[in-house]
Amino acid sequence: MTANTPKPHMRPADPRFSSGPTKKRPNWSLDALSGAVLGRSHRSKPGKARLKLAIDLTREVLQVPDGYRIGIVAGSDTGAVEMAMWSMLGPKPVATLAWESFGEDWVTDAVKQLKLDTTVIKAGYGQLPDLAAIPAKTHDVVFTWNGTTSGTRVPNADWIPADREGITICDATSAAFAQALDWDKLDVVTFSWQKVLGGEGAHGMLILGPRAVERLESYTPAWPMPKLFRMTKGGKLVEGIFEGETINTPSMLATEDYIDALNWAKSVGGLEGLHARADANLAAIADWVAKTAWVDFLAATPESRSNTSVCLKVVDPRVTALSDDGQADFAKKLAGLLDKEGVALDAAAYRAAPPGLRLWCGATIDTDDVIALTPWLDWAFETLVAEL
């Protein structure tokens, strides 16, 4: 091929491959929000009813076990994770796992802010640490299930003992609704609306298992607790938080959008249907990568590859021979050309990750769009490499 390589004839029907906020569900329109409780208090009877419906639908679609509390909290997934860390960590040593940028944030919280007795276990982008070596029996554990910025996920929770002494806090923001979560091994699960279901930003979901509730009711942290983090009163869990009585004021418009996304999820087969859609998208990328010499997954092993935040690296010798800055510039131009052509928006790798592409392949993405994109990826690469 040369710089005059003809452009592919087919285009993705929707070019939005952003990893967050992600694409809305197919056929979404503003009409989906017509039932929103606007101009009313979120503590009014209809306001609380919509918030409670969002919680109940989350339990149904995500198949959250009975006995686990589900709350809507402030600050997106970050707020939910930090609520759990600042409220529950301290009585036991902590193991924090990091193989991408958000895991690094939780390391910072544990080590520099909370100053806990912390074992930090790291791996590079595209890698996972030796999960069998993690002291998950004796320590509290904080980890991301799916590394949004690295495209690398844990394959399962077999490394977490059923008879563990501590609690596990799992940041599942880009895994929930797309990957199978082992609830028996997870005491705290967090995610945000703007990932797999394509909801709006700013709201987090905090799911507490019985062991997490026991920790909250038996332990008082030594540090001051901001109002947004307080989940107990008089040594007892504030149950209202998990029944729609949010600590702060939520957006009822965003809540209605989340309800719409959950109802759509039910219409495509519920959790199994959502998993199947994301898996089909990953399979389409994998089929293309298998026959394409210039690209590979950033995630080193197939079982650790994300089916939502799919991260790709350029492995062509003409590009890898460039300096680090040259490779970064090539990747930036690659994403920019796709954006300019209107075939893949926001497809650049995360700013702190190795240079490459990041394509969101979660459940709201149609597989036909993924398939239609792959020839454009080849075209963009060949166009740019001809200019080297």
User: Does residue 306 form part of some domain?
Assistant: yes
**What is the phi/psi pair of residue 69, to 5°?**
-90, 145
* Length reported for the chain: 388
The reply to whether 187 and 44 lie within a common domain is: yes
Q: How does pLDDT run across 322-353, given as a tens digit for each residue?
A: 999 999 999 999 999 999 999 999 999 999 89
**Whether residue 146 sits in one domain with residue 69:** yes
What pLDDT, in 10s, does the model give residues 268-284? 999 999 999 999 999 99
Confidence at residue 2, expressed as pLDDT on a 0 to 100 scale: 46
Helix axes 324-340, 367-385, angle to 10 degrees: 130
pLDDT at residue 3, rounded to an integer: 53
What is the rounded CA–CA span in Å between residue 119 and residue 106? 12
**Which residue, 266, 298, 316, sits at the end of a domain?**
266
Q: Is 54 exposed, middle or buried, given 0-12, 13-18 or 19+ CB atoms closer than 10 A? A: buried
pLDDT value of position 1: 42
Domain annotation covers residue 157: yes
Alpha carbon 279 to chain centroid distance?
Answer: 15
- Cβ atoms within 10 A of the Cβ of 204, count? 23
User: 384 and 218 in contact (C-beta within 8 Å)?
Assistant: no
Distance CA 379, CA 5 (A): 7
* Judgement on whether residues 299 and 240 belong to the same structural domain of the protein: no
pLDDT of residue 11: 97
Instruction: Provide the pairing of β-strand 94-98 with 118-122.
Output: parallel
Report d(CA 232, CA 238) in Å as an integer.
5
- Looking at the structure, tell me whether residues 367 and 246 fall in a common domain: no
Residue 237 and residue 135 in one domain: yes
* 216 occurs within a structural domain: yes
In a domain, 15, yes or no: no
Q: Looking at the domain assignment, is residue 296 inside a domain? A: yes
DSSP bridge pairs for 305: 152
Question: Same domain, yes or no, for 125 and 140?
Answer: yes
Phi, psi of 170 (to 5 degrees): -115, 115
- 3-class DSSP state for residue 48? helix
Provide the number of structural domains found in the chain: 2
Q: What is the Cα 133 distance to its own chain's centre?
A: 25
Cα–Cα distance, 148 to 47 (Å, whole number): 32
Establish if 17 belongs to a structural domain: no
Same domain, 51 and 140: yes
> Do 286 and 158 reside in the same domain of the chain?
no
For the chain, the first-to-last Cα distance in angstroms comes to 13
The residue whose two tokens read 């402030």 is 74
Provide the CA 252 distance to its chain's centre, in angstroms.
Answer: 22
Q: What gap in Å lies between CA 113 and CA 120, rounded to an integer?
A: 14
Q: Is the dihedral of CA 96, 97, 101, 102 positive or negative?
A: negative
Residue 347's Cα: distance from chain center in Å? Answer: 16
User: Does 328 share its domain with 262?
Assistant: no
Token pair of 61 as six digits: 């679609």
Give the predicted TM-score (pTM) of the model.
Answer: 0.96
Helix and strand totals (H; E) in the chain: 9, 14
Is residue 48 domain-shared with residue 122, that is, in the same domain?
A: yes
- 75 — alpha (psi -120 to 50), left (phi > 0) or beta? left
CA-to-CA distance for 173 and 25, rounded, in angstroms? Answer: 17
Q: What are phi and psi of 96, to 5 degrees?
A: -110, 130
Residues 159-178 have pLDDT tens digits of: 999 999 999 999 999 999 99
CB distance 92 to 138 below 8 Å: yes
Same domain assignment for residues 91 and 111: yes
- Domain containing 208 equals 30-266
Q: Same domain, yes or no, for 49 and 158?
A: yes
CATH of the domain at 352: 3.90.1150.10
Q: Which stretches of the chain score pLDDT less than 70?
A: 1-3
Residue 336 corresponds to which amino acid? G
Task: Tell me which residue of 368, 200, 355, 348 sits closest to 281, measured CA to CA.
Answer: 368
